Amino acid sequence: MNGCGVAPDDDVARYWLKKSAAAGNAQAAQVLKMIGGKSGARNGCNYVATLPWLKQRCTDPDCRNIVRMVENLSQEYDLDANLVLSVIRFESGFNVRAHSPKGASGLMQLIPETAVRFGVRDIWDVEQNIRGGMAYLRWLLAYFKGDLVKALAGYNAGERRVLQYGGVSPYRETRGYVKRIIRDYGKSFHRYDLRWLDEDSRPVQGLV
């Protein structure tokens, strides 16, 4: 709220003051009343999931555990939890046993080549599957310098297809996939770090 070390932002301040007040902090409740205004959806933390459909979609313990795991791992992989959860939603519908006719498996629908490329030993292990998908996502973001449209197109069809067509390939599946996630996530750019390319700089062919 006061801008100590960050830009002043009453909307983000309201979010955390409300959390603190709900936990019984009287001072937070007083400050919240002082600044007034309505609380927005932003929380100032990229590792906390805020997608509006999560409350209705993730009502069972297994789904909630997946959300918590993504939030925890997002800090390690420096990815927005909302982005990862949106990808999971459209890749597998949160079905840990999802398997496509093209050989993609698990929550993040890894193909065997991608699993091996990013160190996944057991593609059906939930955490390993998420880690593999997140490693590939952050690699794609570095490769395409934060352009989320190209990164998502690469995740769906392979980065070589993106290079071949200079962007999203003409495949209907890929175009629909990218459009849905961008709309769901609400952003077309994500921070990136070129050091992520050190993991594996070899473009691979997608299955579409």
What is the chain's Cα-based Rg? Answer: 19
**Cα–Cα distance measured from residue 108 to residue 95, given in angstroms and rounded to the nearest whole number:** 9
Q: Is the pLDDT of residue 98 over 90?
A: yes
In terms of pLDDT, which residue wins out, 5 or 113? 113
Q: Does the annotation mark 76 as catalytic?
A: no
DSSP for residue 198:
G
Range(s) within the chain of domains with CATH label 1.10.530.10: 54-199
Q: What is the mean pLDDT of residues 94-103?
A: 95
* pLDDT single digits (tens) 57-76: 999 999 999 999 999 999 89
In terms of pLDDT, which residue wins out, 17 or 184? 184
Task: Give the pLDDT of residue 37.
Answer: 80
Least confident residue range of 32-41, 47-56, 162-171: 32-41
In terms of pLDDT, which residue wins out, 94 or 16? 94
Task: Give the pLDDT of residue 51.
Answer: 93
**Cα–Cα distance measured from residue 36 to residue 198, given in angstroms and rounded to the nearest whole number:** 47
Q: Is the pLDDT of residue 208 over 50?
A: no
* pLDDT single digits (tens) 106-124: 999 999 999 999 999 999 9
Is 54-199 assigned to CATH 2.60.40.10?
no
Instruction: Pick the catalytic residue from 91, 113, 159, 173.
Output: 91
Helix axes 81-92, 61-77, angle to 10 degrees: 130
Task: Give the pLDDT of residue 205.
Answer: 45
Q: Which of 177, 85, 194, 78 is nearest to 140 (CA)?
A: 194
Task: Give the pLDDT of residue 200.
Answer: 58
**Cα–Cα distance measured from residue 94 to residue 152, given in angstroms and rounded to the nearest whole number:** 18
pLDDT confidence bin for 39, thresholds 50/70/90: low
Least confident residue range of 31-45, 56-70, 138-152, 154-168: 31-45
